[in-house]
Amino acid sequence: MPNNLVRRLTALDAASLRQLRLDALVETPESFGSSYEEEHTLTLEDIRGWIAPLDDGAMFGVFTNGTLAGMVGVGRQRKLKMRHKAHIWSMYVAPAGRGQGLGRLLMHAAIAHAQTMRGIRQVQLSVTSNNMAAATLYASLGFAEYGREIEALCVNGELYDETLMALALTGK
């Protein structure tokens, strides 16, 4: 029985996170706005910057028997007029861990963190429109589609639409 643990990532996780992020960009390039070509030169210092303990964001990892098996980021929009919105990014579970509830655990952690961020009224994300696994997960958590960007990504010459989804947070 695998032992799965979700926790906030710290600077000590930078090397594992860097490797998982690059693996993700290679394995499912159409799932991310960024690319391996843009990120393989990032240093551990750059990655530590992503996971620095900020009030306005966090990265979570799921560890299976101590190995980083998945990741997700959540962050507040920076612009003054958009600071009531958070966004989810870098959602990924390595292939061996899929279908075992790890993605759901990561999303619960990211949403719970957004709920602790003062004044956040909604959490937004975008998902490649043909990504049924991710879209089904998000819909099951209450995310609803609010728009669609046609031909949002061009990956290896192929065009992909993106579905824009949001989860309203209540009681803030």
Residues forming the site for ligand COA (CB under 6 A)? 28, 31, 91-93, 98-104, 127, 131-134, 136-137, 140
Structure tokens at 13: 């996780």
Between 6 and 11, whose beta carbon lies closer to ligand COA? Answer: 6
- Name the minimum Å distance from CB 107 to ligand COA: 8
Q: Is 128 helix (H, G, I), strand (E, B) or coil?
A: strand
> In the complex, which residue's CB is closest to ligand COA?
103
- At its nearest, how many Å lie between ligand COA and the CB of residue 155? 13
Largest Cα span, the chain: 47
Closest listed residue to residue 56, CA positions, set 82, 95, 25: 82
58's CB contacts (< 8 A; 6+ apart) are 8, 9, 51, 73, 74, 75, 110, 113
- Which of 9/91 has CB closer to ligand COA? 91
**For residues 100 and 115, which CB has a smaller minimum distance to ligand COA in the complex?**
100
Alpha-carbon distances of 118 from 23, 86, 110, 113, 114, rounded to whole Å: 33, 11, 14, 10, 8
Least separation in angstroms between CB 93 and ligand COA: 4
Q: How far is the CB of 3 from ligand COA (least distance, A)?
A: 16
**Residue with Cβ nearer ligand COA (5 or 44):** 5
